[in-house]
Amino acid sequence: MANLNITYHALFLSSDLSFILVPIAILYYDQCLTFHVEIEHFWKGFTFTLASVLFIINRYLSLLMTLPVLVESFAYFSELRCCQLQFFRGSSILLAQGVVLGILSMRIYALYNRSRRILALLLITWAVVGAAGIWSISSNKVLPLPLVNDWHACDLSLTNDQIRACLAVAWGGVLVLDTLMFALTVARTLRSDALWRRRGLFYVILRDGAIYYATLTLANAINVTTLTVSTVPPQAKGIFATITNTVSSILISRLVLNLRVQGNQILPLQTSTYDIGDGHSWGAAEMAIDFQREEYP
């Protein structure tokens, strides 16, 4: 029976690799696909701003984060070292999600013409979600299981206590913040005439926002479900974390690049602002972050 349990556990560890390697391969593939767009529409005419810094961090931090994941999956370490790697991996995911949500928050803040009420709402929600994320990392645990013969990867199975109390709350918080931002995006863009003409920045913002939200909602829902359902084996807990984090990084990069492309089609990169047809002006070099209202519709 013990050998059967070990074999069963080894099968889960082996299948877990596919949930790690596949999103990493997709990440590098997407980087190659969009690199020429990044050069043409981001680096040419580059200006050093908070928005551009966040984009760079999101774009290249996701690549660096794959290194410890690969080491964790294939190298042999002691249980203590594996726990340290798990903590580093969790902290990296927390940082990456923070950068992604930061870009989205700046976009919402820009859409609402730097409204202080919107800023206060975002900051309060950010504080709650951030506290949940830090709590989930600081409460990290590893489920001690017997070593598997001929398997040298770290066993990072999660305990039920950690799942119910920590990770599900953290990912649920991310889902709540994503939902809030999507609702605010819809509420703002529906007021634009350019949206109904299926062109312009507002149409791009709503289209990309809907794709981002639908995809991430599905990924987060699966993530939270695997974390909370008691019948899911410990080896499968949190198995979608890498996928969710990778997909969010890819989508936010695409979202920013699409805004750049749309802006550059209207006016060259050297132009600081351009009209989007509804009485608003956007800073092209700021990736539609430095939103300035010149006149009211």
Residue 20 has pLDDT above 60, yes or no: yes
Q: Note the pTM of the prediction, 2 decimals.
A: 0.76
Axis crossing angle, helix 241-266 with helix 79-111, rounded to the nearest 10:
30
Residue 280 has pLDDT above 70, yes or no: no
Q: What's the pLDDT tens digit per position in 181-191? A: 888 888 887 77
Specify the pLDDT at position 6: 47
Secondary structure (DSSP) of 181-219: HHHHHHHHHTT-HHHHTT-HHHHHHHHHHHHHHHHHHHH
Instruction: Taking residues 54-81, report their average pLDDT.
Output: 81
Token pair for 154: 């770290």
User: Distance between the two ends of the chain, CA-based, in angstroms?
Assistant: 73
Per the listing, tokens 């950690």 go with 162
d(C-alpha 2, C-alpha 78), whole Å: 22
d(C-alpha 170, C-alpha 117), whole Å: 25
Count other C-beta atoms under 10 Å from residue 161's C-beta.
11
Domains recognised in the chain with CATH numbers: 2-143+152-266 (1.20.1070)
Closest of 257, 116, 277, 101 to residue 189, by C-alpha: 277
DSSP state of 146: P
Specify the pLDDT at position 41: 86
Position 168 confidence tier, pLDDT thresholds 50, 70, 90: confident
